Chains A and B, each alone.
Chain A
Amino acid sequence: MKRLIASLLMIIALTTIVSCAAPTPAAPQVVQQTVVVKETVVAPQTVVAPQTVVVPQTVVVQPTAAPTTAGPNCGTGPVVMNAYFETGFQIPFSLTEEFTKQFPNVTFDTKQDQFTNLINATPRLLSGDNPPDLIRLPTFVTFAKDGLLLNLDKYATAFGWDKWPVPLQFARMGTDGIRGSGSLYAAGLNYQLTGVFYNKKLAAQIGMTKPPQTVAEFDDLLAKAKAAGLQPIMEWGSAKSGMGLAFPLQQLMAAYGPVGPINDWIFGKKGATIDTPTNLTAAQHLEQWIKAGYFPQDINAIEYTDAAARFTKGEGVFTFNGDWENANYDKNMAGNVGFFVMPPGVAGGQPAAMSGPLTFGVAAKAKHADCAAFFFNWVATNDKARQILVTIGGSNPGGPAGAKMPSVAAGSVTAETLAGGPVVGANAMDFIANATSSIFAQGWTPELQKMVGGKQDAAGLLKAVQAEYLRELAQ
Chain B
Amino acid sequence: MPAPARSTTTSTVTPDNGPVAAVLSRRTYLSKRVRRETFIGWLFVLPALLMYAVFVLVPLLLSILYSFNRWNGVGPMTWVGLKNYLTVFEVPDLLGSIFNAFWLIVWFSFIPVGLGLVTASVINRVATGRFGEIARTVVFLPYIIALVAAGIIWGWLFSLSGLVNQILEAIGLGAITRAWLGDFDWALSAVGIIGIWVLLGFCTVLMSTAISKVDPALYESARIDGSNWFAEFVSITVPLLKQEIGVCLTVTVIFALATFDIVYVSTAGGPGNATSVPGLQIYILAFTQRNIGVASALAVMLMILVVVIIIPIQRLNKETEQ
**B212 → chain A closest CB, angstroms:** 15
A25 to B268 CA separation, bound complex (whole angstroms)? 26
A387 at the interface (CB under 8 A from B): no
Q: Is the CB of A123 within 8 A of B290?
A: yes
Query: What mask results when residues 145 to 180 of chain A are scored 1 for a CB within 8 Å of chain B, else 0?
Result: 010100000000000000000000000000000000
Tell me whether A301 and B60 are in contact in the complex, defined as CB-CB below 8 angstroms, given that A14-B254, A22-B292 are known contacts: no
B318 to chain A, nearest CB (A): 7
**Contact partners of A303 in chain B: CB under 8 A:** 155
B302 within 8 A of partner (CB): yes
B153-208 interface with A by 8 A CB criterion: 155, 158-160, 178-184
Q: Is B236 an interface residue (CB 8 A)?
A: no
Which chain A residues in 429-475 approach chain B with CB under 8 Å? 437-438, 441-442, 445-447, 449-450, 452-453, 455-456, 468, 471-472, 475
Which residue of B has the minimal Cβ distance to A121?
Answer: B287
A-contacting 9-mer, from B7-15, B30-38, B70-78, B130-138: B70-78
Partner of A33, one of B72, B151, B272: B151
Q: Which of A19, A124, A296, A437 has the most CB of B within 10 A?
A: A19
Residues in A whose Cβ lies below 8 Å from that of B183: 300-301
A62 to B16 alpha-carbon distance, docked (Å) = 107
Partner pick for A449 among B56, B60, B147, B270, CB 8 A cutoff? B270
CB neighbours of A447 from chain B (8 A):
272
Which residues of chain A are within 8 angstroms of B151 by Cβ–Cβ distance? 33-34
Rounded to whole Å, the gap between the CB of A119 and the closest CB of chain B is 8
Contacts of B63 in A (CB 8 A): 18-19, 21-22
Report whether B178 and A298 are in contact in the complex, using a CB–CB cutoff of 8 Å.
Answer: yes
* A440 to B295 CA separation, bound complex (whole angstroms): 18
- Cα-based distance from A455 to B93 in the complex (angstroms): 15
> Interface readout for A45-67 with B: 1 if CB under 8 Å, 0 if not?
00000000000000000000000
Is A10 within 8 A of B314, CB to CB?
Answer: yes
Counting CB contacts under 8 A, is B57 at the interface?
yes
Quick check: which of B116-124, B215-223, B224-232, B257-265 contacts chain A, the rest being far away?
B257-265
B93 contact set on A, CB distance < 8 A: 446
Query: Are B264 and A33 within 8 A (Cβ)?
Result: yes
Point out the residue from B247, B272, B289, B296 that lies within 8 Å of A453, measured CB to CB: B272
State in angstroms the CA–CA spacing of A34 and B158 once bound together. Answer: 18
Q: In the complex the two chains form, what is the Cα distance from A127 to B71 in whole Å? A: 15
Q: Which one, A74-82, A193-201, A234-242, A325-333, is touching chain B?
A: A234-242
Query: Is the Cβ of A21 less than 8 Å from the Cβ of B75?
Result: no
Given the interface pairs A22-B62, A237-B182, A239-B268, the reply to whether A12 lies near B159 with Cβ below 8 Å is no
- Whether B72 lies near A471 (C-beta < 8 A) is no
**Hey, which chain A residues are within 8 Å of B318, CB to CB?**
3
Residues of A within 8 A of B272 (CB): 300, 446-447, 449-450, 453, 455-456
A22–B66 CA distance with the chains assembled, in angstroms: 7
- Closest chain-A Cβ to B259's Cβ sits at a distance in Å of 10
Which residue from A19, A126, A239, A475 sits with its C-beta under 8 Å from B56?
A19
Q: Distance in Å from the Cβ of A301 to the closest Cβ of chain B?
A: 3
A15 x B56 contact (CB < 8 A): yes
Chain B neighbourhood of A301, CB < 8 A:
155, 158-160, 179-183, 271
Residue in B58, B250, B267, B273 whose beta carbon sits within 8 Å of that of A6 in the complex: B250
Q: How many residues of A contact B (CB 8 A)?
A: 65
From 278 to 322 in chain B, residues with beta carbon under 8 angstroms from any chain A beta carbon are 279, 282-284, 286-292, 294-296, 298-300, 302-303, 306-307, 310, 314, 317-318, 321
Write out the residue numbers on chain B whose beta carbons fall within 8 Å of the beta carbon of A302.
Answer: 179, 182
Cβ-defined partner of A239 (8 Å) among B62, B247, B270: B270
Q: Nearest B residue to A27 by beta-carbon distance?
A: B55
Indicate if the CB atoms of A22 and B286 lie closer than 8 Å: yes
Does any Cβ of B come within 8 Å of A299's Cβ? yes
Least CB distance, B162 to chain A, in whole angstroms:
10
Interface string of A3-32 (1 = CB under 8 A from B): 101110110111111111111110001101
Give the residues in chain B near A22, CB-CB below 8 Å: 59, 62-63, 66-67, 286, 292, 295-296, 299
Instruction: Output the least CB separation between A237 and chain B (Å).
Output: 7
Interface of A is mostly: helix
How far is B56's CA from A144's CA once the two chains are assembled, in angstroms?
32
Contact at A10–B310, with CB atoms within 8 Å? yes
What separation, in Å, do the CA atoms of A449 and B72 have in the docked complex?
29
Cβ-neighbour of A9 out of B66, B247, B296, B302 (below 8 A): B247
- Which single member of A23, A33, A34 contacts B286 (CB below 8 Å)? A23
Contact-residue size bin, chain B (C-beta under 8 Å from the other chain): 35 or more
Any A CB within 8 A of the CB of B255: yes
Q: Is A120 engaged at the interface, CB distance under 8 Å to the other chain?
A: yes
**Is A297 positioned at the interface, with any CB of B under 8 Å from its CB?**
yes
The B contact surface, by secondary structure, is helix
From B58, B243, B290, contact of A437 by CB (8 A) = B290
B282 — which chain A residues lie within 8 A by C-beta? Answer: 20-21
Cβ contact within 8 Å between A7 and B314 = yes
| Contact between A471 and B90, CB atoms less than 8 A apart | yes
Measured in the bound complex, the distance between the Cα atoms of B283 and A437 in whole Å is 13
Contact B182 A238 (CB under 8 A): yes
| A2 within 8 A of partner (CB) | yes
Please tell me if B17 contacts chain A, counting CB pairs below 8 Å. no
Task: Give residues 350-384 of A contacting B (CB, 8 Å).
Answer: none
Chain A nearest CB: distance from B321 CB in Å? 6
Contact yes or no, A20 B288, CB < 8 A:
no
Q: Are A127 and B74 in contact (CB under 8 A)?
A: yes
How close is A234's CB to chain B, nearest CB, in angstroms?
13
Is A407 an interface position by the 8 A CB rule? Answer: no
Give B76's nearest chain A residue, CB to CB: A146
Contact bitstring A223-260, B, C-beta under 8 A = 1, else 0: 00000000000000111100000000000000000000
* A90, CB-defined interface residue at 8 Å: no
Report the bound CA distance from A3 to B319 in whole Å.
11
Tell whether, in the assembled complex, residue A30 and residue B287 are in contact, meaning their CB atoms are under 8 Å apart. Answer: yes
Tell me whether B269 is interfacial, beta carbon within 8 Å: yes
How long is the Cα–Cα vector from A239 to B260 in the complex, in angstroms? Answer: 14
Within 8 Å of chain A (Cβ to Cβ): is B148?
Answer: yes
User: In the bound complex, how far is the Cα of B246 from the Cα of A300, in angstroms?
Assistant: 38
- The answer to whether B258 touches A17, judged by C-beta atoms less than 8 angstroms apart, is yes
For B58, what are the chain A residues with a Cβ–Cβ distance below 8 Å?
24
A binding-site residues for B, Cβ under 8 Å: 2-3, 5-7, 9-10, 12-25, 29-30, 32-34, 36, 120, 123-124, 126-127, 142, 146, 148, 237-240, 296-303, 306, 437-438, 441-442, 445-447, 449-450, 452-453, 455-456, 468, 471-472, 475
Given A21-B63, A33-B151, 19 more A-B residue pairs with CB atoms under 8 Å apart are A3-B317, A3-B318, A6-B243, A6-B247, A10-B254, A13-B251, A13-B306, A16-B56, A16-B258, A22-B59, A23-B73, A24-B59, A30-B286, A32-B264, A238-B182, A239-B270, A301-B159, A438-B284, A447-B272
Pairs A–B under 8 Å by Cβ, sample size 16: A9-B250, A17-B302, A18-B64, A18-B299, A20-B260, A30-B283, A32-B264, A120-B287, A237-B182, A238-B270, A298-B160, A438-B284, A442-B92, A468-B92, A475-B87, A475-B289
